């Protein structure tokens, strides 16, 4: 079997990238898609051959009309398969958004109907449970980069340092 055939036979995993943007009051920017229920972070699917960061920046430009200042990775979250949706590797990049940037947001009307800044306490009122879990974990991490599975830290699944 050639290398190309071998690599073509391997499973593929879906990828997504989003931006956790906080304003000066530490409120989270959420957007409301027109094609599904709930509020989400700006972001979307990583295209073939595209890096997670490039996808996040492209999606922010497409969805918000701006490229945010990102300063690192907030988390990597493995989202398990659900119904017809395959498992997805989700990269969440962290950054800040100014009041001026929020005022200039230009949503694509065929994709997003609204945007809103919400407090940590308000997130469960807007976001679907898997997004709310992810955001709760990330916001509680005080700037540490996290590895998550379905929005939570898989403590029991990770080996302890020094354990064999």
What would the pLDDT profile of 73-114 be if each residue is shown by its tens digit?
Answer: 999 999 998 888 889 999 999 999 999 999 999 999 999 999
Contact 138, 146 (CB under 8 A): yes
Structural domains in the chain (count): 1
Considering the domain boundaries, does residue 127 fall inside one?
Answer: yes
pLDDT digits (tens, 9 = 90+) for 23-33: 999 999 999 99
Q: Which residues contact 100 (CB under 8 A, 6 or more apart)?
A: none
pLDDT at 104: 97
- What does the pLDDT look like over 127-158, one tens digit per residue? 999 999 999 999 999 889 999 999 998 875 55
The whole domain housing 75 covers 13-152
The answer to whether residue 162 sits within a structural domain is no
- With respect to residue 7, please indicate whether it lies within any of the assigned structural domains: no
Other Cβ atoms within 10 Å of 105 Cβ, number: 16
Q: Is residue 3 part of a domain?
A: no
- Can you give the pLDDT at residue 161? 61
- For 50-74, what is the mean pLDDT? 97
Confidence of residue 43 (pLDDT cuts 50, 70, 90): very high
Q: What is the pLDDT, as a whole number, of residue 115?
A: 98
- Decide if 158 is inside a domain: no
Tokens in use for 97? 């958004």
| Model confidence band, residue 160 (pLDDT cutoffs 50, 70, 90) | low
CA 138 vs CA 20, 77, 120, 135, 155: distances in Å:
9, 10, 11, 5, 15
Exposure string over 46-69, b if 16+ CB within 10 A, otherwise e: beeeeebeebbbbbbeebbebebe
* Mean pLDDT value across residues 9-27: 92
Is residue 13 pLDDT above 60, yes or no?
A: yes
CA-to-CA separations, 75 to 28, 42, 93, 114, in angstroms, rounded: 15, 15, 7, 25
Q: Is residue 97 part of a domain?
A: yes
Q: Are strands 14-22 and 43-45 parallel, antiparallel or unpaired?
A: antiparallel
CATH number at residue 135: 3.90.79.10
Q: Do 76 and 56 meet the contact criterion of CB atoms below 8 Å apart?
A: no
């Amino acid at each position: 079997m050639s290398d190309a055939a071998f690599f073509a036979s391997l499973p593929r995993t879906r990828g997504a990238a989003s931006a956790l943007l906080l304003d000066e009051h530490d409120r989270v920017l959420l957007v409301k898609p027109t094609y599904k229920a709930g509020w989400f972070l700006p972001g979307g699917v990583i295209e073939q051959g595209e890096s997670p960061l490039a996808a996040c920046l492209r999606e922010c430009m497409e969805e918000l009309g701006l490229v945010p200042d990102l300063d690192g990775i907030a988390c990597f979250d493995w989202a398990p398969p659900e119904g017809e949706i395959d498992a997805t590797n989700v990269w969440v990049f962290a950054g800040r958004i100014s009041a001026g940037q929020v005022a200039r947001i230009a949503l694509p009307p065929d994709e997003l109907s609204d945007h809103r800044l919400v407090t940590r306490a308000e997130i469960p009122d807007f976001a679907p449970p898997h997004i709310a879990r992810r955001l709760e974990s990330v916001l509680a991490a005080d700037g540490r980069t996290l590895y998550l599975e379905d929005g939570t830290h898989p403590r029991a699944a990770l080996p302890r340092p020094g354990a064999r």
